[in-house]
Amino acid sequence: MMDASENVGVLPSTSRLRPPQVSFAIPRNAAISGLQEMNDLQTNARATGQMGPPLGIPQKRALNGNATQSEPKRKTLSERAGEPIQKTHIPSFSMPPASSRSTVQGASITSLTSASNIGAPRPTSTTTSTVPRSTTMNNFGRSVGPAGRPPMTSMSRQPNSINFSQSVNGRPRAMSRPRPGTSAGNYGPEIDATPNHQQNDWDVNERIQDLDSQFRVIKEAMDSSISEKQAMEKAVDLANSRVGDLERERDRLDSKNVQLQSELDTLRQQRQSLALEMEKEQLSRKYELEDKTRAHRSELDQLRREFNNETDRQQRTHREALEAMERHYRAELEEERAARAKEVDDLRSKLGAEQQGLNEALLEREDEIQKMRSQMEALKLDLEREQTIQTDFKKQMAHMSTTNLALEDRNRALRAQIDFLESDNKQQSDAFANMEARLQEALRIAEEARQKLIKEETERRVIFNKYQELKGNIRVMCRVRPVLDSSEGGEAKIAFPDHKTSTQIDLTGPEEKSSLGAVVRRTIPFEFDRVFSPAVHNEEVFGEISQLVQSALDGYNVCIFCYGQTGSGKTYTMSSADGMIPRATHMIYDTINQLKNKSWTYTMEGSFVEVYNEELNDLLTSGDSKKKLEIRHDDQRKQTTVLNCKRVELDSADKVELMLREAQNNRSVAATKANERSSRSHSVFMLKLVGENSATNERCEGTLNLVDLAGSERLKHSQAEGDRMKETQNINKSLACLGDVIEALGRGSSHIPYRNSKLTHLLQYSLGGNSKTLMFVMVSPLEAHLKETITSLRFATKVHNTHIGTAKSTKKTREGRASE
Ligand SMILES: Nc1ncnc2c1ncn2[C@@H]1O[C@H](COP(=O)(O)OP(=O)(O)OP(=O)(O)O)[C@@H](O)[C@H]1O
């Protein structure tokens, strides 16, 4: 099939479709023969290692060429006719096996040709149809005679392979060419020319037999060729119809192609027109944009010019105004300078005088201090002496009560004696008078002892107060809480170097860069009246403040407040179960009971308020029954009252606990509305103590204020908003005001800004003047809180350095005289 297509390739073709098996440009017969020949020729060619000739080359030459190349040259019959006959060498035709016949047809025909080609080789080929039958018959008749054998067909002549091929192929032949003599024709004279007639007859018969057999073979070959031809014709028909189909398909596709081409052209045109339109649009936009840019630029230039003009104008005006002002102020300055110079001179002279006065005052003060020191020493001695007197007195009292008992016994004995003496009147009345006198003496001594005791108590109070004053009316103590849990973070470096007096705390500050660029941590020392390390319990802390509680009982206003950042332990110190509030009240109960012996009776009232957002809230009233609280000051009594605030009479220790619990509950309710209320409000526990002495008619009124301040860190760190912002501002304000008040008190300023915040306004009579103040600065032990701790300690140091004037007791006689 490949060979066929190759052959077809040389033929003109208009279609690009896969060519059919047979080229249709070739006439049908030629195609069949072409296919047949190709098979044969190529089989031969492959056998000899050569390609077959191209289709246009005459078949004969190719076949002859093949024959001459592939087979040894044989002698023709005419050549062999001259040779002596050897029976065994008579060439015999043998049929190729049926299976190979069709494939090696060319070869068999060639061999047939060579076998039957007895006469001289004939130059041309003729078909049986072109050979006149009469000629053939004549030749045969001449050589064999009509009766010797069946009438010969044209095929009885020795056909050569070319003849056969050509007849089968149907290739154009030289039909008009004069037909040369047939081999039979040629053969006849040769037979006739043979001298040995008998032998010739035999040869002829043999040849005839040969020819017959050859004829049969050829016929068979012809038949098979014809049937093959018919099959090929059918194949050709099929191929033709397929070609028709394909051509129709091609036509359809061509027309479709044309249609698509035209559509493509249309689309191309549309695209071109669109591109043109777009270009036009772009150009118009560009022109528009350029116009606008130009307009904008000119507008901008105009504005710039106007602006420059305006700026110049303004500058001129300002310059003029400035110059005028400068002139004016210079004149004023000159005047002011002259006035000030005069003032300075005056002040200098005044200052000289004042300085002299101050120096004198300083000397006086020093003398005073010296005197006070000696007084203190004397007082200390007095106190010790008084204490020994008190002990002696107690001993005396005990002695006297035993004496009293003895006297009562004696009295009873004397009564018995009286009864006895009544019988002996004179003797008896003397003894009675004696006994009466002794009894009166004993009673007098007892009264004297009681009076002395009361006097002793009054003196103790005075001495105690003086002692407190000497210690200072504002005291600052520092307390460091322990680390609660390792999850709290790293511990700051805090040292307590002063083991004897426990008044110093050393803090290792944060990392800093020294002037040389090295990173260092400085140790910052702080000193206070007392420093409590984390190991110290509430009991020991209370030991330090119990004297102040005593002062409250003695009629002084006392204020103890806790200052420090959130979580530093303020609430723990103040209001925990064993904090300062419960301890103070318990101590007060104990003391009141003891004072009963000395004719003192006390009433104790407690109230608990909260300062939140510059508003006072009663922590002992819950829900809707709350009324607006108002602060009232009694300047005479130096006492503060909060109107509409619940006051609880604390006549038993249980009541204090109940009160604290109630306050905590009310604070928690508020905390649900805004978290951690305790950190953002100041709580003030106020305990009013009123004592009366039935023996001396003395009355004292003191207040103990225990204050838990809001977290101090809010002074700085806050990014709060809304309600929180307000809250933060108020905390900041009130803590700053507290600092201002303490500072003003320390300076001895005539105006103390108590009213600047609700907290200082409420504590007016417990800060400065008639008061004793103790500030606890609470410290967190954590490294994370180091900066805040330093800030708190610095604030506390400032307060510690403040000297507040001497406190005064509000003790008065019933008539209202102050007993200063
Ligand atoms: N000395 C201490 N010993 C043991 N635990 C303490 C001590 N001081 C404080 N704490 C604990 O530390 C925690 C924080 O203390 P506290 O609530 O008293 O701080 P605060 O400064 O009062 O806080 P707030 O800002 O809420 O007022 C609490 O759990 C408390 O029990």
Report which ligand 1 atom has the smallest distance to the Cα of 570.
22
- How far CA 165 is from CA of 2, 34, 340, in Å, comes to 22, 10, 151
Highest mean pLDDT among 333-342, 441-450, 478-487, 711-720: 478-487
Q: How many Cα atoms within 13 Å fall on the side-chain side of residue 80?
A: 19
Q: What is the pLDDT of residue 684?
A: 92
User: Which three-class secondary structure state does DSSP give residue 740?
Assistant: helix
Q: What is the pLDDT of residue 317?
A: 87
Please give the average per-residue pLDDT across 595-617, as a whole number.
Answer: 89
Higher-confidence residue of 777 and 392: namely 777
- Which of the two residues, 482 and 116, has the higher pLDDT score? 482
The finding on whether 481 has its CB within 6 A of some atom of ligand 1 is yes
Task: Verify whether ligand 1 is closer than 6 Å to residue 146 (CB atom).
Answer: no
What is the structure's pLDDT at 659? 85
Ligand 1 pocket residue status of 561, Cβ below 6 Å? no
Query: Percent of the chain, pLDDT > 70?
Result: 68
Return the ∠ at Cα 107 (arms to 101 and 109), rounded to 5°. 80
- Say how far residue 682 (Cα) sits from the centre of its chain: 39
pLDDT tens for residues 516-541? 788 888 899 999 989 999 999 999 99
Is 570 labeled as ligand-binding? yes
**At residue 387, does pLDDT exceed 70?**
yes
- For residue 564 and ligand 1, the question of a CB distance below 6 A is answered with yes
31 with 234: CB under 8 angstroms? no
Whether 6 shows a pLDDT value over 60: the answer reads no
**Element of type H or E holding 21:** none
570 Cβ below 6 A of ligand 1: yes
Residue with tokens 């030289």: 174
Higher pLDDT: 422 or 250? It is 250
The CA angle 331-336-342, to the nearest 5 degrees, is: 135
Say how many Å lie between the CA of residue 732 and the centre of ligand 1.
Answer: 21
Q: Has residue 66 got a pLDDT over 60?
A: no
pLDDT of residue 273: 93
Give me the pLDDT at residue 53, please: 39
Find the 484 Cα to ligand 1 centroid distance in Å: 9
* Tens-digit pLDDT profile for residues 121-140: 443 333 333 333 433 344 44
User: Is 571 known to sit in a ligand binding site?
Assistant: yes
Q: Is the shortest distance between the CB of 571 and ligand 1 below 6 Å?
A: yes
Instruction: Give, in order, the Cα–Cα distances in Å from 107 to each of 42, 54, 104.
Output: 11, 19, 5
538 CA distance to ligand 1 middle (Å): 12
**pLDDT at residue number 290:** 93
**Residue 801: both structure tokens together:** 């350095």
Q: Which helix (H) or strand (E) holds 606?
A: strand 600-612
- Banded model confidence at residue 199, pLDDT cuts 50, 70, 90: low
Kindly report which listed range (93-102, 232-241, 392-401, 765-774) carries the lowest average pLDDT score. 93-102
Query: Which of the four pLDDT bands, split at 50, 70 and 90, describes residue 677?
Result: low
799-814 pLDDT, tens digit per residue, is 888 755 444 455 444 4
Q: What is the pLDDT of residue 396?
A: 80
Share of the chain above pLDDT 90, in %: 24
Query: pLDDT at residue 818 above 60?
Result: no
Q: Name the closest-CA residue to atom 10, ligand 1.
A: 569
Over 90: is that where the pLDDT of 481 sits?
yes
Nearest to 214 by CA among 258, 155, 173: 155
Query: In angstroms, what is the span from residue 586 Cα to ligand 1's centroid?
Result: 22
Here the tokens at position 530 are 């007392």
Tokens 């191209």, residue located? 54
Which of 11-15, 238-242, 288-292 bottoms out in mean pLDDT, i.e. has the lowest? 11-15
Which residue from 725, 764, 501, 757 is spatially nearest to 632, judged by alpha carbons?
Answer: 764
- Which pLDDT value is given to residue 239? 93
Among 204-218, 380-394, 457-471, name the one with the lowest average pLDDT.
457-471
Q: Cα of 567 to ligand 1 centre, how many Å?
A: 5
What domains are defined for the chain?
A: 26-193 (no CATH), 472-813 (3.40.850.10)
pLDDT of residue 745: 82
Q: Which residue's alpha carbon is at the smallest distance from atom 8 of ligand 1?
A: 569
Confidence of residue 424 (pLDDT cuts 50, 70, 90): low
Rounded distance between C-alpha atoms, residue 555 and residue 703, angstroms:
7
The DSSP H or E segment spanning 242 is: helix 197-423
What spacing in Å lies between the alpha carbon of 540 and ligand 1's midpoint?
A: 17
Of 242 and 36, the structure prediction assigns the larger pLDDT to 242
Identify the weakest region by mean pLDDT among 57-66, 293-302, 808-817: 57-66
- pLDDT range class, residue 268, cuts 50, 70, 90: very high
Q: Is the CB of 482 under 6 A from ligand 1?
A: yes
State if residue 711 touches ligand 1 by the CB under 6 angstroms criterion: yes
Q: Is residue 669 very low, low, confident or very high in pLDDT (cuts 50, 70, 90)?
A: low
Q: Could you tell me the distance, in angstroms and rounded to a whole number, from the CA of residue 571 to the centre of ligand 1? A: 6
H-assigned helices in 529-652: 538-553, 570-575, 580-595
One-letter amino acid for residue 814 of the chain:
R
Distance, CA 562 to ligand 1 centroid (Å)? Answer: 12
Ligand 1 near 188 CB (within 6 A): no
Segment among 461-470, 536-545, 767-776 with least mean pLDDT: 461-470
- Which one is predicted more confidently, 470 or 754? 754
pLDDT in tens, 748-763: 788 999 999 999 999 9
Q: Whose CA is nearest to atom 23 of ligand 1?
A: 567
For residue range 26-42, what is the model confidence (pLDDT) as tens digits?
444 444 444 444 444 44
pLDDT at 563 (0 to 100): 92
Cα–Cα distance for residue pair 669/689, rounded to 1 Å: 30
Q: Which atom of ligand 1 is nearest to the CA of 479?
A: 1
Max mean pLDDT range (407-411, 456-460, 556-560, 716-720): 556-560
Mutate to test the pocket of ligand 1, among 488, 541, 572, 667 (most ligand atoms within 8 A of CB): 572
Q: What is the pLDDT of residue 114?
A: 41
Polymer length of the chain: 820
pLDDT at 160 over 50: no
**How confident is the model over 584-596, as pLDDT tens digits?**
888 988 888 888 8
Q: Which atom of ligand 1 is nearest to the CA of 564?
A: 21
Atom 14, ligand 1: which residue's CA is nearest?
A: 567
| Neighbour count for residue 594 (Cβ, 10 Å) | 10
CA nearest to 607, candidates 634, 576, 633, 645: 645
Q: State residue 201's pLDDT score.
A: 62
Looking at every residue in the chain, the average pLDDT score rounds to: 73
Write the single-letter amino acid at 205. Answer: N
Dihedral sign from CA coordinates of 118, 120, 126, 131: negative
- The predicted-structure confidence for 535-582, as pLDDT tens digits, reads as follows 999 999 999 888 889 889 888 889 998 999 888 999 899 888 888 988
